[in-house]
Each structure stands twice: as structure tokens, then as C-alpha cells.
Amino acid sequence: MADQVKIMILSGAREQGKDMFAVQVNDEIFVLDAGLKYPDSSLFGIDVVIPDMEFFAQYGDRVAGIFLTHGHADSIGALPYILRSNNIPVFGSELTIALAKIDVKRENKTIKNDLFHVIDAETEIDFKNASISFFHTTHSIPDSLGIVVHTPAGEVVYTGDFKFDPSAAKNYHTDMDRLAEIQTKNVLALLADSSNAEASFPSASEQDIGKYVTNVFRNAKGRIIVAAKASNLNRVQEVLNAAQSAGRRVLLTGRDVAKIVRTSMKLGYLEVPDGLLMRVKDLKTTPDDKTVILETGRMGEPLNSLQKMATKRHSMIRIHDGDLVFIATTPSHSVETMVAETSDLVYRAGGRVIQLGRNQHTSGHATGRDLQILIDTLKPKFLFPVIGEYRLMEIAKDLAIKAGMDKDNVFIAQNGDCYNFDFKKQRFYLTDPVPGEDTMIDGSGVGDVGNIVLRDREILSDDGIFIAVVTIDRKKKKIIAQPQVTSRGFVYIKANHQLMRDSIQVIKKAINANFEHKKFDWTELKQDIRNDLEKFLYKQTNRRPVVLPVVMEVNQNRHRAMQKKNEAKADTSNKKPGHVKQDTKTSVKTNKKTRKNTEVKSKKEEKKD
């Protein structure tokens, strides 16, 4: 049987986050990363978005393992949902596996530890059809790894999130010697991080950023509230170092940062001097000029927590005069508006804001020059730009062509694309797609919110809902009670009484027309009410609320009541004389009638007297 090599783009192409790719060698599939992304404002009520879980339903029995590059949510966030129904081995560095277990345990109280395997850059794992090895990369979290899949056609290299920084600390350093070694083994394809490809100048070194943070801390007069992502351990370490240098103590807030910091300290990836950390109760006794509050917020996103602090809704901390809010993360384009709103609220509360990204060019991702250096080092035959929006992937393609690659050997893929390698022609070509849609997580539901539900939520957010409740007698063809109408998010009812009264007449007219001209059908009746109300409300208000008609029938259970009554009569006739049990409701009814007749008779007698 001839060898087969496929590259599957499961998620993470033409978007930021939610990284997941796969390489298939014959009948084995090797999944590279399993991440999530946080929703934008168009996904109403959605908590997180993960790759298409249908892939594991179709191909789960062929998946040999999931291989993780680093411990950020865009690499490990989908694991809890995958491992709910799939017993797939997971491989990653010591810190990555520790953070993955925290994520999995948050969603699944019981985890199977035997599924998790700690590896390092020196590890090579042999499978039936291929082998997997790793190499050190530089990112904002220690022990990040790139992945190499050794296939019969050559090496398939996946970088994960990476950048080049020669001054990076030991646990963050890229192994350039290893990259040169991989190049000698014929690199067939490179799946490269393109999320910062449009950066035209180099990122500041972490040493320079550390000095800048220390300088900010030393010049601050009051409290310092730092907003950072919990999983950006590089930045957390710089904050801890700066606090110690400035003679301040640090309070960690947020469950994410506490768990991640404790885990990293335990494994030796964070250096925290004794006495540097404090508890909430120490805030009252520690002077403002000796205090640093490190806030990460829910799931590592600190901006919501900052807004609560500024508007006095936070459970522990309130921003007051003299506070410095230091935003130590570079926000993505999608949250820049939220950063501006948060800064405005901080200033209103009496604080001031310094954004690290405004004064230093920081990123954990490769610049365009870094990408060209990587291409020149590995010399891949084919390039798949991934981990980036469409424009960034196109920029990465242009950079690769300038670095000497053939434009026909650079593929701008999309989620769901599957590329098969033709050994004879030495080319990749598109074959049948694989599942590549979004799976949306809302509460405990996985994938139960789709485009239809989101469309309804969008309409509700635009024009609200209008509810009409009416009770009818289908057999008598009449409306039993006056229709009741109400709305939420549509109009202020107290100021629109006439609109509500007119809508009731529209409902009545629709029901009567249905009784007169159509054979009764529940679906048609509700649809007629909905259509007539939608036309009327739009004509009156130029708005299109969601119209929800609720139609009830008064006699729908009459035959059941009659049947029970007949059964009761039959039981009475079968019983022996002297043991007849009178129906309670009938007895009460008779007693009331007798009592009424007696009262009437008494009044007549009094009148005669």
C-alpha cells in the first residue's frame, strides 16, 4: 500500500486563536494544538468558541495523540471538551501539561491522568507510521515547543506561537541549532505563525520591557493596579521583579492567576521572593505606595475587572485618587475600543492609565522579519501560513515569496481544508474537506447554540420581543378572553397604551379571519397572528421585534373530563346499596344550591311577617 500524507486545517486559519491542525500519515492522525478563542461582540451570550467537535466523532479512532506547543488558551483551551468523550493521549512540556490539567479539571471534575504525557525538546516519540519530535521556541510563556512530524515525504514543521529574541531567558530561548538540524532532513511543509506578520519593525526585547516596567513602578506615587493575562508568565515575572525592586508587595487577584502562579512557582518557572506576596487582609495595613495589585480577571482577561473597580462594583478593590492602572498586555484590535472605555472609567474614578503597548512594541508572535528568518533557516518546500486573520496570511505569503519561495508553494488555507500530498508529482492538492466549523460554548452546552439561535439573539438585541397571549374555543370559534400583550426591549408600555390596544385588535382580526376562511390549523393560526402583528408593528414603529404568539384552547381536555365522569358513574352503580360514595364536587355543589334556596325562603317568610 502506498504511503499517504495529509495536512488538515481544522481551525486557526483566517482567525485569531482556536489553533488546531492535524497531519495524517497513512491511518494515523496527529493533532497539533487544541485551542479556543474568546467571542467578539457579534456572538451574543457565547462564552468561548472551540474547533468543530464533529472531527473527533468521525476520526477520533484514528487520532494517535494531541501534541501541545504551549500553555495558553489558544493552544490548550479545547482539551476539556475533547476529552469529555475521547480518550486521546496528550503530549506537552511539563508546564504545558500542568496548565492543561487545570483547564480540564475546571470543566471535568475527574480527569484521567494516564492520558497526559510530559515530554521535552529532546523527546522523540515513535508511532506506527511516523515519529514526532520537538524544539524550543520563544513565546510569552516558558517551555514553548515547536513540533516536527517525520513523514515518509519529509518533515512537517509546526511552530505554534513563536518569535525570535536572542536576549530571552533560558526557559524562553529558541534553539537555533535544532532548527538548522531539522533543515538538513528535508522540510516538506511549514505551518507558521502569521498573527504578527504585518509588524514592520522588531519587537522590544524582554530585557528592555523588564527595565521599562521597573522604571514605571519606581516612579509611581500611589497604588499600582496591573492588568495582565494570567498565562503571560513572562510579564507576570517582570511585574514581580519590578515590585521587589520598587520595595512593594503584590496582591494576586483572580482565580486564574492564583492557580497559574502557584503551579508555576511549584515547578520552578516563576521566581517569587519570600514575603513579596500578600493577602487581601494586608491591604488595610500596607501603604498605597508599597502596594501592587495584579489583576487578571475571568479566564485571564482583566478589562472587565478594571471596569468594575472603576465603577465601585468589584468585590474587593475600588480605584481611587492617586492609583496607577498599568495595562501590561498588548490588546488585540477587537478589544481596543474596550481598552479606551476602560481607561476613561479609570480617569473618572481618579486614577491614571499607562499602556505598555503604547510605549513599547511588544508581542509574543513573530514579526515579518522573524518569519523570513525562519523560512530561510528551515528552507521548506511548502508553506501554510496559519494562526492569523486573512490579511495577515496574505502578508505572510508575500514575505515568503520575497524570501525566495515559489508563490505556487504557499497555500492560503481556510478551516476545513484538507491537503493530500501527491508523491509522484511532489505536490499538495485539495481533497475532501474535514469538519471545520465553529463549536460555540454557552454555559454547560457544547454546540447547542448555532447560527439560528445567534440570529434570534441578534434580533432580540436590536428590537426586543413582543408577546401576545390569547385563549380560544376552537369548537365554538370564538375568543374566550381578551388577548394580553406585553413586550421587552421594544417599547415602553406605559407610554404606548394606544399601540398595545391597537395590536389587540389586530390579533382578534387575525383569529376571526382564520375561523371564518380556513380549516383550523394551529401552525397557520400562529403564523397569521405573527405576520399581521409584524406588519402592524413595523408600520407603526419602523421596528421588527421578535413576535411570539401564545394561543391556548379552553376545551382541549373536555373529552378527558367526560370520560372520567362516566367512569365514576360506572363505579358507583357497581357498588352495594348503603355504600354509595357521593362525588365530592357534586355534593358541594348541591349543598351550595340548598343553602341558597333556604336563604331565599327565609327572606320570603320574613317579608310575609
**Which residues define the annotated binding site?**
361-365
Residue written as cell 496570511? 393
In 3D, which of 389, 294, 393, 312 has the Cα closest to residue 349? 312
All three cell numbers of 403, joined, read 524570501
Q: How far apart are CA 174 and CA 199, in angstroms?
A: 20
Burial (CB count <10 Å: 0-12, 13-18, 19+), residue 52: buried
SS3 content of the chain, % helix, strand, coil (to 5): 40, 20, 35
Any residues with CB less than 8 A from the CB of 133 and at least 6 apart, and which? Answer: 123, 124, 125, 147, 148, 150
- The number of CA neighbours under 13 Å toward the Cβ of 201 is 4
How many whole angstroms separate alpha carbon 193 and alpha carbon 175?
17
CA–CA distances in Å: residue 360 to residues 193, 204, 217, 423, 522: 21, 6, 16, 47, 65
Annotated binding site for substrate: 361-365
Write out the three cell numbers for 38: 474568546
Contact 252, 276 (CB under 8 A): no
Distance CA 369, CA 376 (A): 10
SS (H, E, C) 412-450: CCCCCCEEEEECCCCEEEECCCCCCCCEEEECCEECCCC
Residues 6+ apart with CB under 8 A from 445: none
For residue 507, give the nearest of 538, 550, 556, 555 by alpha carbon.
Answer: 550
How far is the C-alpha of 399 from the C-alpha of 197, rounded, in Å?
A: 8
- CB crowding 228-238: b at 16 or more within 10 Å, else e: bbbbbbbbbbb
Q: Could you tell me if 368 and 391 are in contact, meaning their C-beta atoms sit under 8 angstroms apart?
A: no
Q: How far apart (Å, rounded) are the C-alpha atoms in residues 181 and 134?
A: 12
- CA-to-CA distance for 333 and 214, rounded, in angstroms? 27
Cell of residue 362, nine digits = 511588544
Q: What DSSP state is assigned to residue 163?
A: B
